[in-house]
Amino acid sequence: MKTVYHAANSRGGSHQGWLKSKHTFSFGDYYHPERVGFGALKVLNDDTVEGGQGFGDHSHANMEIVSIPLSGQLKHSDSMGNHGLIQTGDIQVMSAGTGVVHSEMNGDAERPVKFLQIWIVPNQKNVTPRYQQVSLVALLQRNEFNQVLSPNPEDAGVWIHQQAWFNVGEFDKGITKTYALHQPDNGAYVFVISGSLVINGHTLSPRDGLGICDTRYFTMDVLDNAQVLVMDVPMFRDSP
């Protein structure tokens, strides 16, 4: 097993008044030569947007873009004709493919919204752009890894153009759980949203991340009630 540890306070970031953003990997004006992604996982941004503010119209292509609100709500609009609110407890994905223009605004005029923005490199280029949004509330079981994203359209949750699986879970103090990776060449990036846990001797606190590869599974011991996101991704991008 190989691991790479990213402490929360080692992340890059940008502050623009209305936006506070922490970047686990190189993004925008933040560049770190040892942090250009983890396999197919290229962006993991931890964003807080003030009330009534947000990201105006901008374009993307050939990227799988996943948004997970942690508190508050996002107001989404795109060139495919999708409009609406993404609530806490939802997951949203856009396959940008040949190109899409969209905006993400805080859906509340006063309270901030906090969300994770995640980019995955696809295994197909120039696909027809698509949008999907799913409520996860009915899918989540406590003290379990709950699959919320996969390559399979028939699975619960959302799907993307990549051999990747996301699992989220809320775990009680004292719980020990083992996660099995889906493919031999995949790695897992574990992001602790809240609480604390131990994996392979690494103690992880809120917003810490641990990349794990060259193994088929890992075991975590929960030190304090924890909310965890596991991103199971190819370590080498599939050729389009």
pLDDT digits (tens, 9 = 90+) for 162-186: 999 999 999 999 999 999 999 999 9
What structural domains and CATH numbers belong to the chain? Answer: 2-234 (2.60.120.10)
105-158, pLDDT tens digit by residue? 999 988 999 999 999 999 999 999 999 999 999 889 999 999 999 999 999 999
Query: β-pairing, 83-87 with 90-95?
Result: unpaired
Task: Return the amino acid letter for 83.
Answer: H
Q: What is the mean pLDDT of the chain?
A: 94
Structure tokens at 11: 């992340």
pLDDT at 240: 37
Q: pTM for this structure?
A: 0.95
CA 15 to chain centre: 20
Q: What angle do CA 18, 23, 27 make, to 5 degrees?
A: 95
